[in-house]
Amino acid sequence: MKVTARVSRETDGSYWAEVNELPGCFASGLTMDELLEDLRGAIHVYTQPDDARSEQASQPGPGSIQVDEIKVLV
């Protein structure tokens, strides 16, 4: 699956992004690097089955969606 993240720069210089294909999936960061790291984590948690979300987020659950590419629009 490929997803597209729309990035906005806030008035304080920080960044905010939302993923078009995953409603309610968003991330923020003080720098672009921090935003991208948080975005990867948010996508990972979002794409886990509901029962896996309550467990450790770094462990992919069975039946999780595989995101192969993140396209970032600034």
Rounded Cα–Cα distance for residues 16 and 14 (Å): 7
Q: Provide the 10 A C-beta neighbour count for residue 67.
A: 17
| Reported pTM | 0.73
Mean pLDDT by 10 residues, the chain (74 residues): 92 95 95 94 88 53 66 80
Rounded Cα–Cα distance for residues 70 and 51 (Å): 25
Neighbouring C-alpha atoms within 13 Å toward the C-beta of 62? 0
